[in-house]
Structure 1
Amino acid sequence: MSFNTKNAGADYVLSIVVPMHNADNKLGACVDSLEKLINYPALVELLGQREIEVLFVDDKSSDNTYTTLSKLCEKYENWSLYQTESNSGSPSTPRNIGIDRALGQYIFLLDGDDEIDAKGITTGLALALKHDHDLVRGPVEVNYWGERRTIVDRLKLTEHMSTEDMIVAIASGQSLNCSALWKRELLNHHNWRFDPATRMGEDLVFTSAAMNSASSIGYVDHPLFHYMRQPGGGDSAMHYYSGRELRELVTSWQRVEDSFTGRGLSYLALHGDRTINYALRLVIRYLDPTNVDDGDLRYFAEFFARHKVALREITFTDPHVKDLVSVLGKADIKAITEEIKPRLLIAGHDLKFMKPSIPLLRKKYQVQIDEWPTEVLHTESHSQKWLEWADFIWVEWLTAASVWYSERVKPTQTLVVRMHRYELGRSYGDQIKREAVSAFVTIAPHCMEDLIERFEFDRGKVRFIPNFYFTDSYKQADSSEANRVFQLAIIGAVPQRKGYLKALQVLAKLRETDKRYSLTVMGKSYKELSWVAGDPLEQAYFAACDSFIENNDLTDSVHNLGWVNTYESVHEYGFVLSTSEHEGSHVGPGEAFCAGNQGVFLPWRGVEYVYPETSVFEDTEAMAEYILRMRNLEDFNRVAKAGQDYMRSNYDISLFVDRVDTLFRSV
């Protein structure tokens, strides 16, 4: 499919090839820069009667990219549009189509989310035409959207440099992107095209091969294009890597090295430090270790063994990259399997909510722990040691540890801080170096809103990742056991905000109808906690609870069980009550659902976003009425099964690990 407005008799001096895919919402800046270019006075003067053409190649987009580009090409003569028959999955095929159809003396390859620089292109084209260069390159302006601009890949050259010296200077001082002015005759004579089968390093392979075949190379000290860095620093093409990407990466490196060997040069010697460092950082961050086999790792390691002499000359400043290169050179597959995983440090004063997830996290990460004895005390040398080791840092609780790490984390590391709820009453969120934190995680939607309101954090930095459950690890209730519908439980009755008195009120209401109901209290009694005795309000509250039990003849119906293993015991209790004033997510009633029973809730703020709304009741009377209706075992089991399915589909540990993994690899 194509839309062609070319002037068949035109003398084209420049063809600009622009691959596009699902770019309808981001092609505006690119198009604006092209419109500016064709009207740029200095370029119009340079061209005279000659013309330039723009060739868009849509890689079978699923959005409105093709339609939008069609309308643009109707507007401008010499703007043409082509489309692949099916999506190819990389820019290589669209670029090749553009090169094949280009008529210009020179070709410039521009990505659809970047911008062309009118002054740079005009200056570069004038130089190319004057000296009949095969290739003209320039520095790159990197535009960090909404943040800053900087120029990279700038070279300091002397006059009258030989082609070989130019190649050495470019390979040493620039990333070998393909966005340059290429003489079409050079590309066609050698049939230089992109390899559609390669998605890792395709620019590097193409540029190395074509540049090393050039007889004359020029350079202008002005950017030819602006690379548009995505917000937050993520590249638009980033995705999880598999064994395929590992193989493609080292295959590309070898092809590049071979291109330079033909000129008696070594790319590894010229630019290997930056290329290998950068690529291995990406591998560490984006590789999915569960999607790589021993054969992939062995193939990857062979490159490092083959070039171990050259690699010894490279200084790897990143400690993880350095250790990975070391084990790759030894071809120890077991060691490589572990070392290629990202390094995750879990830190904080109370890690009870994170420790159970560590065995599953270790399938994708190397994991270490920095557990502080108290909220503020820690061994600084120990913390510093693991800080230096880590790629990713997860700090549990928005407290002193989060502040400490935010003041020391490196720009190359990713710091995530999880807030539960009680931190809203502390000042650590005011103290934290928030620009050093990649993301703040909350355990419930309402906690997310509270965090943003309390500390005025940037909403774009706040994420919601709910608590997890080992949903299939709970001993299951016997669906034929009818007596359990009369067994109520509350897991944690202290402090008073847990609403123990309301749970007692529910029990009293139930026993007015059926004396079989009882309430079991799991966790420490207020009498075991010395701080309660020192708090007059708490002391008075629990004294009132004791009086309520006595006055309503509940003494034999309330059982204090103390600490229990809920995985083994919660299946015995048909209903676990949440009568709290406020909660983050309240784990206990969720455990009831996991065991095949039910959690029931009073309407603390945000509960409807955490648990099924059908399990939330306006007051203790409505809760009691519902529990009475559930004496019908068939109805009880139906609701319990729906609740269990809800927990598995929303809160299973596997989902938590995937959510954490996705977060770390995307921020």
Structure 2
Amino acid sequence: MKLSIVVPCYNAETKIGPCIESLEKISLPAESFEVLFVDDFSTDGTLALLENRSKSHPNWRVEALAANSGSPSRPRNVGTSKAEGEYVFFLDCDDEILPDALGRQLELAATEDSDIVRASLYTVERGKQPQLLNRVRNFKYTDSRTDKIAKIVRDQSTTNSSLIRRSLLLDNGIIWPEHLHMGEDTVFLNNVLSAAINISYLDEPAIVYHKTIGFIRSATQQYGARELASHLEVWESAELTLSQAGLSYMAIRGHVALRVALESIYRFNRGDIDAGLFSKLSRLVHSNWESLGERTFRPRIRETLEIINAGDYELFQQNIKQRLLIAGMDLKFISPAIPSLREHYDVRLDEWTGHDAHDETQSRDHLEWADVIFCEWLLGNAVWYANHKKAHQQLIVRMHRFELNARFGHEVDQSKVDCFISVSLHTSEDMIRTFGMDRTKVRIIPNYLDVKNYKSTDDPAKTTRLAMVGMLPKLKGYHRALELLSYLNVHGDFSLTVFGKGPLDLPWVYKNPVERAYYESCAQYIVDHNLSEKVTFSGWVDTKEALADFGFVLSLSDLESFHVAPAEGFAAGNQGVFLPWHGVDYVYPEDYIFEDIFGIRDYILNNQDLEVFKKNAELGRRFVSERYSLESFVSLVQEVLEEV
């Protein structure tokens, strides 16, 4: 038995397929290698899947742990103890082995009597082309052992791509450190390199490393006190281990390790790094400042390192907040959330003056500052930032329905956008279809309300008052609102208040012959049906205050992406009523959706008793409180920022 491939698995049912398929394609005689899957007490169907697939392969085995260990280290150690091969290779269950890689590594190991053979790898990130990484520069068979170790530590991450003589691990008691939450691969590799006599490198990729991020956060998608404490222990261990070979880990690799850690802190920081832990970090940086100070860092990283070196904990806490740049015109839909977002992020605004108009000098300054760019609207702002973003920055674009009829969705470089956010399911499907978006990049985050701050009232007269927030353009259905009002007034004394701008306030509406004719017909309808005393135009108001007095908020549009106004009505203890515009049933409860205005009329008439009205309004109030609160919106934005 030449080789044992150890594959630790945990809840991998939906992602292990490519790994299994790659193992089936290995170009080695089956009798010369074995595959050991070690299941870490999965709670999904992983174990059953592995056992079923292994039946077709006599050289595949499955070991199942009796309890979950919390990291891949224990499964790897169990795999080593059960292995029978002369060499062992560790493969993660969401990665792939290349067909000829292990055969080539075994050939080199036989030629050079290797204790360890390192190789390069391909990394694949969602939506991007594969990259060849971990190549070691100028590695020579004739190099000294110390030079070989230094070159591997300098040029390679510690991602698994090592063929290791199993007896080296057993004879030297080298195991994966099971107590560490991060960086266990660094400790393990350095221990192997320190014990190895013959160290080899094959300048060919061995694995495909899938750098994918999903909704279930992995160990690399979180970073706080626990992870930093693990890294500090790892770096101290690496420094001690490599010192036995006359090398300094911090001098060779410390700048990379610190950069990666700081980028994780910016992105995933839980706010639990206390002064004591910061002090340990500061001492480490300060003691290695001579070598770190000579390294080239991007300005954001250098700024943080200088603060750490100076030992300023308070400034550090402020500095590590992720820098969120919100860019776009007409920020009315995102502005109410900015104070809440500032509790978690350092926020700046780049306010554009038009769909494609901005101060480019100012935008470039903001770009240099930002970690994450959040484009409100898929307009020229998204196109510009996609063309100018840096490799380390994430770009998120929040879309509304308006953009479907604009050119910018066709112009934006979608490969540079990490995530598109849509306010509703039906709008996301329309965007995907219209602009050919990769649906794996699309997330749905509904619009939101600061639900707790809406005023309500028990005035019995409110059941006769209708409100319409926004009457422009004609697809908003203003004429239908007038018809509804007329039908209601056959049975009682009802009124309609229209909030927002009128057709004369927006030249693009009034100069459009079709729009102008529509609103002229609406004005004539008011006259013809004696509604002049029943219709009031109030301009823009604070809807958190004003909607308390209106029992029914109308949504009579031809098209909407979400329509916030009825949700505001619910938040105020009142009711939204809807015609069946496309997608409304995905956004609001069916209890308030009607086939036509006659159905709405009858419903309103049946809700004139205040107690009946309040009972029927409760479902809507509870619905928007649970689904469309400001707190929920901010939480979902945080999830997306961490995911991308």
Instruction: Place the TM-score, normalised by the shorter chain, in its bin.
Output: over 0.9
**In structure 2, how many angstroms separate the alpha carbons of the residues matched to 1:658 and 1:391?**
18
1:97 aligns with 2:78: yes
TM-superposition CA deviations, 1:21-53 (whole Å, max 9, x none)? 22234334433443444x626x97xxxxxx543
Once the 2 structures are TM-superposed, how far is the Cα of residue 368 of structure 1 from its aligned partner? 0.9
**In structure 2, how many angstroms separate the alpha carbons of the residues matched to 1:428 and 1:73?**
50
> Which of 7, 20, 26 pairs up with 1:31?
20
Larger mean CA deviation between 184-193 and 145-154 belongs to: 145-154
TM-superposition CA deviations, 1:462-482 (whole Å, max 9, x none)? 33222111111111223xx32
Cross-structure match for 2:610 = 633
**In structure 1, how many angstroms separate the alpha carbons of the residues matched to 2:284 and 2:456?**
52
Cross-structure match for 2:37 = 56
1:439 aligns with 2:419: yes
> Which of 500, 503, 523 pairs up with 2:481?
503
TM-superposition CA deviations, 1:419-449 (whole Å, max 9, x none)? 2222222222222222222222222222222
The AA in structure 2 aligned to 1:23 is: A
> Which of 88, 113, 122 pairs up with 2:94?
113
TM-superposition CA deviations, 1:602-642 (whole Å, max 9, x none)? 22222222221211122222111100101122221122111
> Which of 455, 469, 479 pairs up with 1:491?
469
- Are the structure 2 counterparts of residues 127 and 581 from structure 1 closer, same or farther at C-alpha, using a change threshold of 3 Å? closer
Once the 2 structures are TM-superposed, how far is the Cα of residue 332 of structure 1 from its aligned partner? 2.0
Instruction: In structure 2, list runs of 5 or more residues that go unmatched.
Output: none
Given that 2:181 and 2:219 are in contact with CA atoms closer than 8 Å, whether structure 1 keeps it comes out as no
**In structure 2, how many angstroms separate the alpha carbons of the residues matched to 1:331 and 1:465?**
40
Given that 1:272 and 1:314 are in contact with CA atoms closer than 8 Å, whether structure 2 keeps it comes out as no
Cross-structure match for 2:546 = 569
- Are the structure 2 counterparts of residues 477 and 238 from structure 1 closer, same or farther at C-alpha, using a change threshold of 3 Å? farther
The AA in structure 2 aligned to 1:496 is: K
> SS of 2:576's equivalent?
strand
> Which of 36, 40, 44 pairs up with 2:28?
40
> SS of 1:89's equivalent?
coil
**In structure 2, how many angstroms separate the alpha carbons of the residues matched to 1:400 and 1:226?**
36
- Are the structure 2 counterparts of residues 334 and 639 from structure 1 closer, same or farther at C-alpha, using a change threshold of 3 Å? farther
Once the 2 structures are TM-superposed, how far is the Cα of residue 385 of structure 1 from its aligned partner? 0.8
Cross-structure match for 2:381 = 401
Q: TM-score, normalised by structure 2?
A: 0.93
> Which of 362, 369, 376 pairs up with 2:342?
362
TM-superposition CA deviations, 1:549-589 (whole Å, max 9, x none)? 33333233222333321111211111111222322222211
Cross-structure match for 2:192 = 210
- Are the structure 2 counterparts of residues 425 and 86 from structure 1 closer, same or farther at C-alpha, using a change threshold of 3 Å? same
| 1:550-629 equivalences in 2 (<5 Å) | 550-629=527-606
Once the 2 structures are TM-superposed, how far is the Cα of residue 73 of structure 1 from its aligned partner? 4.2
> SS of 1:556's equivalent?
coil
Given that 2:141 and 2:200 are in contact with CA atoms closer than 8 Å, whether structure 1 keeps it comes out as no
**In structure 2, how many angstroms separate the alpha carbons of the residues matched to 1:593 and 1:526?**
28
1:428 aligns with 2:417: no
Given that 1:474 and 1:595 are in contact with CA atoms closer than 8 Å, whether structure 2 keeps it comes out as yes
- Are the structure 2 counterparts of residues 164 and 356 from structure 1 closer, same or farther at C-alpha, using a change threshold of 3 Å? same
Given that 2:115 and 2:165 are in contact with CA atoms closer than 8 Å, whether structure 1 keeps it comes out as yes
Once the 2 structures are TM-superposed, how far is the Cα of residue 78 of structure 1 from its aligned partner? 4.6
- Are the structure 2 counterparts of residues 475 and 153 from structure 1 closer, same or farther at C-alpha, using a change threshold of 3 Å? same
Given that 2:181 and 2:226 are in contact with CA atoms closer than 8 Å, whether structure 1 keeps it comes out as no
**In structure 1, how many angstroms separate the alpha carbons of the residues matched to 2:56 and 2:414?**
47
> SS of 2:71's equivalent?
coil
1:242 aligns with 2:228: no
Q: TM-score, normalised by structure 1?
A: 0.90
1:122 aligns with 2:103: yes
Cross-structure match for 2:145 = 163
Larger mean CA deviation between 648-657 and 451-460 belongs to: 451-460
**In structure 2, how many angstroms separate the alpha carbons of the residues matched to 1:546 and 1:525?**
12
> Which of 511, 520, 543 pairs up with 1:543?
520
> SS of 1:53's equivalent?
strand
The AA in structure 2 aligned to 1:328 is: I
Given that 2:251 and 2:288 are in contact with CA atoms closer than 8 Å, whether structure 1 keeps it comes out as no
Cross-structure match for 2:316 = 336
The CA RMSD measured in Å over matched residues stands at 2.7
- Are the structure 2 counterparts of residues 338 and 621 from structure 1 closer, same or farther at C-alpha, using a change threshold of 3 Å? same
The AA in structure 2 aligned to 1:436 is: K
Cross-structure match for 1:381 = 361
> SS of 1:139's equivalent?
strand
Once the 2 structures are TM-superposed, how far is the Cα of residue 399 of structure 1 from its aligned partner? 1.9
Name the count of aligned residue pairs. Answer: 643
Cross-structure match for 1:70 = 51
Once the 2 structures are TM-superposed, how far is the Cα of residue 523 of structure 1 from its aligned partner? 2.4
| 1:262-281 equivalences in 2 (<5 Å) | 262-281=244-263
Once the 2 structures are TM-superposed, how far is the Cα of residue 94 of structure 1 from its aligned partner? 0.3
Once the 2 structures are TM-superposed, how far is the Cα of residue 276 of structure 1 from its aligned partner? 2.5
Once the 2 structures are TM-superposed, how far is the Cα of residue 77 of structure 1 from its aligned partner? 4.0
- Are the structure 2 counterparts of residues 495 and 254 from structure 1 closer, same or farther at C-alpha, using a change threshold of 3 Å? same
Cross-structure match for 1:468 = 448
Larger mean CA deviation between 547-556 and 235-244 belongs to: 235-244
TM-superposition CA deviations, 1:123-155 (whole Å, max 9, x none)? 433443455433222222335689644432223
- Are the structure 2 counterparts of residues 122 and 431 from structure 1 closer, same or farther at C-alpha, using a change threshold of 3 Å? closer
Once the 2 structures are TM-superposed, how far is the Cα of residue 207 of structure 1 from its aligned partner? 0.8
Cross-structure match for 1:308 = 289
1:19 aligns with 2:1: no
The AA in structure 2 aligned to 1:508 is: S
TM-superposition CA deviations, 1:60-101 (whole Å, max 9, x none)? 112222223224444444533211111122101101111222
Once the 2 structures are TM-superposed, how far is the Cα of residue 384 of structure 1 from its aligned partner? 0.7
Once the 2 structures are TM-superposed, how far is the Cα of residue 334 of structure 1 from its aligned partner? 2.2
**In structure 2, how many angstroms separate the alpha carbons of the residues matched to 1:133 and 1:40?**
19
Once the 2 structures are TM-superposed, how far is the Cα of residue 506 of structure 1 from its aligned partner? 1.6
Once the 2 structures are TM-superposed, how far is the Cα of residue 178 of structure 1 from its aligned partner? 4.2
Larger mean CA deviation between 161-170 and 558-567 belongs to: 558-567
Given that 2:127 and 2:415 are in contact with CA atoms closer than 8 Å, whether structure 1 keeps it comes out as no
Given that 1:442 and 1:448 are in contact with CA atoms closer than 8 Å, whether structure 2 keeps it comes out as yes
Cross-structure match for 2:174 = 192
Identity, in percent, stands at 39
Given that 1:108 and 1:180 are in contact with CA atoms closer than 8 Å, whether structure 2 keeps it comes out as yes
Given that 1:524 and 1:562 are in contact with CA atoms closer than 8 Å, whether structure 2 keeps it comes out as yes
- Are the structure 2 counterparts of residues 623 and 73 from structure 1 closer, same or farther at C-alpha, using a change threshold of 3 Å? closer
TM-superposition CA deviations, 1:532-559 (whole Å, max 9, x none)? 5544443433333333333333233222
Once the 2 structures are TM-superposed, how far is the Cα of residue 292 of structure 1 from its aligned partner? 4.8
**In structure 1, how many angstroms separate the alpha carbons of the residues matched to 2:378 and 2:81?**
57
**In structure 2, how many angstroms separate the alpha carbons of the residues matched to 1:346 and 1:572?**
34
The AA in structure 1 aligned to 2:499 is: M
**In structure 1, how many angstroms separate the alpha carbons of the residues matched to 2:534 and 2:197?**
94
Given that 1:22 and 1:61 are in contact with CA atoms closer than 8 Å, whether structure 2 keeps it comes out as yes
Once the 2 structures are TM-superposed, how far is the Cα of residue 278 of structure 1 from its aligned partner? 2.8
1:325 aligns with 2:308: no
Once the 2 structures are TM-superposed, how far is the Cα of residue 383 of structure 1 from its aligned partner? 0.5
**In structure 2, how many angstroms separate the alpha carbons of the residues matched to 1:494 and 1:226?**
53
Larger mean CA deviation between 135-144 and 242-251 belongs to: 135-144
- Are the structure 2 counterparts of residues 220 and 405 from structure 1 closer, same or farther at C-alpha, using a change threshold of 3 Å? closer
TM-superposition CA deviations, 1:368-422 (whole Å, max 9, x none)? 1110123333211111111122121111222222222222122322212222222
The AA in structure 1 aligned to 2:5 is: I
- Are the structure 2 counterparts of residues 582 and 206 from structure 1 closer, same or farther at C-alpha, using a change threshold of 3 Å? same
